[in-house]
Amino acid sequence: MMQMIEKTKLQKNAGRVLSFIKNYLVLVSIVSLVMITIIVEPKFLTQPNLINIIRQFGPLAFFSLGMTFVIICGFIDLSIPGIISLVVIVTYSLIEPLGQYAAIAAGILVGIIAGYINSRLIISCGALTNAEALFITFGMSTVYGAIALIIAAGKTGHLSWIEKDTSAFSFIAQGGFGDFLSFSFLLFILCLVILYIFQSKTFLGNTIFLTGGNKTAARLSGINTFKSIQTVFIISGLMSAIGAVVLLSRITTASPVVGRNYDTNAILAVVVGGTRLTGGQGSVLRTVLGVLLITLMSNCLDLLGVSPFMQTMLRGLILVIVIWIDYRNQGGKQ
Partner 1 sequence: MAETNSTPIISLKNISKTFPGVRALDDVTIKVMRGNVHGIVGENGAGKSTLMKILSGVYTKDSGTVEFDGEIVEQTTPIQSINRGLSIIYQEFNLVNSMSVGENIFLGRFKEMHGMKGIHAKARELLDSIGCKINTYTMVADLSVSQKQMVEIAKALSYNSKLIIMDEPSSSLTSDELKKLYEIIGYLKNKGISIIYISHKLNEIFDLCDMVTVMRDGHVIDTKPITEMTHEEMITKMVGRSIEKEYPERPRCVGETLLEVRNLNTRKLHDINFKVNRGEILGFVGLVGAGRTEIIRAIYGADKVKGHELFIEGQHKKIKNPIDAISAGIALIPEDRKLQGLILSQSVKTNIVMAIQKKHTKFGFLNKSSEKAIAEKQVASLLIKTPSIKTRVVSLSGGNQQKCVVGRWLETQSKILIMDEPTRGIDVGAKYEIYMLMKEIVEKGASIILISSELPEVLNMSNRVLAICEGRISGEFNPETTSVNAIMEKVLG
User: With binding defined as CB under 8 A, does residue 219 bind partner 1?
Assistant: yes
* Residue choice 153, 201, 305, 309 for contact with partner 1 (CB under 8 A): 201
User: With binding defined as CB under 8 A, does residue 213 bind partner 1?
Assistant: yes
Nearer to partner 1, 166 or 216 (CB): 216
DSSP 8-state class, residue 46: S
- Minimum Å gap between C-beta 281 and partner 1 is 6
* Residue choice 280, 292, 293, 319 for contact with partner 1 (CB under 8 A): 280
* Nearest CA-CA partner of 273 in 64, 31, 56: 64
- Minimum Å gap between C-beta 58 and partner 1 is 30
* Residue choice 49, 52, 174, 206 for contact with partner 1 (CB under 8 A): 206
Q: Could you say which residues in the range 239-278 bind partner 1, by CB under 8 A?
A: 276, 278
* Residue choice 49, 52, 130, 281 for contact with partner 1 (CB under 8 A): 281
* Nearest CA-CA partner of 73 in 19, 119, 105: 119
Burial class (CB in 10 A: 0-12, 13-18, 19+), 162: middle
Across 299-317, b (16+ Cβ under 10 Å) vs e yields: bbbbbeeeeeeeeeeebee
Nearer to partner 1, 187 or 223 (CB): 223
Residues in binding contact with partner 1, number by CB under 8 A: 24
User: With binding defined as CB under 8 A, does residue 292 bind partner 1?
Assistant: no
User: With binding defined as CB under 8 A, does residue 216 bind partner 1?
Assistant: yes
Q: Find the part of the chain contacting partner 1 (CB under 8 A) among 21-29, 51-59, 197-205, 235-243.
A: 197-205
User: With binding defined as CB under 8 A, does residue 71 bind partner 1?
Assistant: no
The secondary element (H helix, E strand) that includes residue 176 is strand 176-177
The long-range contacts involving 168-172, CB below 8 angstroms and separated by at least 24 positions, are: 168/100, 168/101, 168/104, 168/249, 169/100, 169/248, 169/249, 169/252, 170/249, 172/245, 172/246, 172/249, 172/250
Which residues are at the interface with partner 1 (CB under 8 A)?
15, 201-204, 206, 209-210, 213-214, 216-224, 276, 278, 280-281, 333
